[in-house]
Amino acid sequence: MEYPLPVALLLGLYLGALTGVVPALVAWSLGFVFRYVTGVTLPGFAVVVLGVAIAGVQGGLLGLLDPPVVNSPIGVVGVIVVMLATQYAHAKGDAMGASFPRRIGLRRLREHRLSSDVIERVGRFGRVRVTVAGEIGDIEGYPPLSDDLRAKLREGEWTFPADLPLRELESRLADRLRTEHEFADVTVEIDATGTATVSAAPPEGSLSRRVPPNRRAVSVDTLVPTGLARGDEVAFAVADDEVAGTVLSAKTDSESTDDAADDGEPVSRAPTTTGGDGRLTVSVSRADATRLLEGEPSKLRVRSRGRRSEFQLVNLLERAGQQFGRMSIRAGSELDGATLGETRVRDSYGVAILAVERDDDWTVAPPGTTVLADGDELYVAGTRTALDRFSEAVG
C-alpha cells in the first residue's frame, strides 16, 4: 500500500519512536556503565549499530517489518529516528558516568549532613546555628587579621536552614563573611555539630590592596631590625639562596597590636620599627612565595634605600674621568677682583665652577657676572691635571 509522502514521514517517526525506546535505554546504560567503571568513552558508532540491530529485532517481534514498510520512506525515517535516539542516549549516559561521584557509602553520606542533635525544629526543615571554634587562621599570601576581626568572628553566630548539606553551608557562610567584613578571601569548614573552622584574609581596603599584580604577600616571624619602614627592600636567606621582597608591614612583639595605620593594618606606632622579635609581611613573586613558605628563612638583610642624588652625580662625573676640588681664592691671585666671564676659566683652565661660597652664602651655578674676591670658596670639577693648574692660578 502506497502512502502519501507526508503520511509516510509521520508513520516513519511513529515507527522509529516505537522501536527506538529499548535501543535508547540500552545505549544509555552502556555509555554510563562503561564510562563510570573504566573512565573511557565507548565508541558511538558501535552503540548506534547495536541500537539499530536491537530495533530490527524488536520491530520483527512486533510485526512491523513488512516489506512494503521497509522499502518505503517509512522504514528510512524510522531507522534515522532510531539512530538519533541511540546516539543521544549514549552521549547522555557517557556524560553522567563522567560526572557521577564514585565510591559513595553510607558513612560518607552521614559525614556530609548535620547531626540531628544540633537541628532546631523550627519550620518545615528546621534550622542550625553555626558558630566558630578554635583560632581564626590566616591565609598564606595575605597579611594577618587584626585582633578586632578575630574577636568578632569568634563571637559571631549565623543561622541557616538545616536541610542543606555541609558543603552548601560552608559556601553560604563564606559568602556571609565576605559580605559582612569585606574579607579578601575566606575558607570555611563545618563539621556535623555545626561548628566552623575559619581562615580569612584582611579586607580589600587594607594592606592586601597594595600588593602589586602577580605578587604575593607573605608573613614571616623573624628578628625585625630597628628602623625598618614600609617600602624597604629586604632579602631572606633561604637555603643557599636569597628571596628578595618589599616590606608591606612590620610589627615587633613589644609594639601594641591595637595601633593601626591609615589602612587599618596593625603596624608600629612610629614610621619605623623599634627592633626585636616580630612579624614581617613582604611582597614577593609567586615563585619566591612558595620558596619562602616551604623553606626556613634564617637571616634577614635590609638593602640600601638608594643613593642620594648628589652622590649619583659624583659617581657619573667620576665615570667620565672628572674630579671635584675645593679651592680658596687668595689676595693678589689672577682671579681676585675679576668676574667669571672675564676669567674664562673653562677655556683657560678646562674646569667648571659649580658653586661659590662666601660668608656661608652659597651661589650654585654662578653666572658670568659674579665677581670673585679674596676668601671665596670655589667648588670646581675637571680632570686632575686641570684642577692642579687652576689651583696655582687661584692660590
Beta-carbon contacts of residue 335 (< 8 Å; ≥ 6 apart)? 329, 343, 345, 372, 393, 394
The model's pTM: 0.32
Residue type, 245: G
d(C-alpha 93, C-alpha 32), whole Å? 4
Residues 176, 179, 180, 182, Cα dihedral to 10° = 130
Query: Within 10 A of 59 (CB to CB), how many other CB atoms are there?
Result: 23
- Distance, in Å, from the CA atom of 55 to the CA atom of 210, rounded to the nearest integer, reads 67
Domain definitions of the chain by residue range: 5-99, 111-200, 210-302, 309-394
- Cα-Cα end-to-end distance for the chain: 133
Cα 382 to the chain's mean position, in Å?
A: 53
Query: Angle 147-155/166-181 helices, nearest 10 degrees?
Result: 140
pLDDT attached to residue 316: 67
Kindly report, residue by residue over 133-170, the tens digit of the pLDDT: 888 888 876 778 888 888 888 888 888 887 778 888 88
Q: What pLDDT score was predicted for residue 268?
A: 37
The 3-state DSSP class for residue 230 equals coil
Among 307, 263, 255, residue whose Cα is nearest residue 279: 255
252 and 221 Cβ atoms separated by less than 8 Å: no
pLDDT of residue 10: 81
Rounded CA-CA distance 207/188 in Å is 22
Per residue in 333-368, pLDDT (tens digit) is 888 888 888 888 888 888 888 889 988 788 888 888
What pLDDT shows up at residue 15?
77
Say what the pLDDT of residue 60 is: 62
Rounded-to-integer distance, Cα 293 and Cα 59, Å: 69
Q: How far apart are CA 263 and CA 219, in angstroms?
A: 17
- In DSSP terms, 114 is beta-bridged to none
Q: How many residues does the chain have?
A: 395
Closest by alpha carbon to 162, among 127, 124, 122, 112? 127
Residue 205 confidence (pLDDT): 52
- Are the C-beta atoms of 370 and 329 separated by less than 8 Å? no
Residue 58 sits at the vertex; the CA angle it makes with 56 and 60, to the nearest 5 degrees, is 70
Strand locations in the chain (E): 127-132, 137-138, 157-161, 186-190, 195-200, 215-224, 233-238, 241-252, 276-285, 300-302, 323-328, 352-358, 361-364, 377-382
Name the nearest CA neighbour of 145 among 266, 260, 261. Answer: 266
**350, 387 in Cβ contact below 8 A?**
no
3-state DSSP assignment of residue 64 = coil
| pLDDT score for 262 | 39
Nearest Cα neighbor of 217 from 228, 206, 229 is 206
- pLDDT, one tens digit per residue, over 21-36 is 888 898 899 888 888 8
Q: What is the pLDDT of residue 172?
A: 85
Which residues make beta-bridge pairs with 236?
243, 300
CB-based contacts of 382: which residues, under 8 Å, 6+ apart?
Answer: 322, 323, 325, 349, 350, 351, 352, 390
Whether 327 and 380 have beta carbons less than 8 Å apart is answered as yes
Q: Which CATH superfamily includes the segment(s) 309-394?
A: Regulator of K+ conductance, C-terminal domain (3.30.70.1450)
Cell numbers representing residue 287 in the block = 615563585
Q: Which of 243, 248, 250 is nearest to 211 (CA)?
A: 248
| pLDDT tens digits for range 41-60 | 888 888 888 888 887 777 66
Burial class from Cβ neighbours inside 10 Å (0-12, 13-18, 19+) for residue 114 reads buried
pLDDT, tens digit only, all 395 positions of the chain: 566 777 777 877 877 787 888 888 988 998 888 888 887 788 888 888 888 888 777 766 555 556 665 566 777 777 888 888 888 988 888 888 877 765 544 444 444 566 777 777 766 667 888 889 888 888 876 778 888 888 888 888 888 887 778 888 888 888 888 777 778 788 998 888 888 899 988 875 555 556 777 788 787 888 888 777 777 888 888 877 888 888 887 777 665 433 333 344 433 333 567 777 777 888 888 888 878 777 777 778 887 665 555 555 666 677 777 888 888 888 888 888 888 888 888 888 888 888 899 887 888 888 888 888 888 898 898 888 888 888 888 87
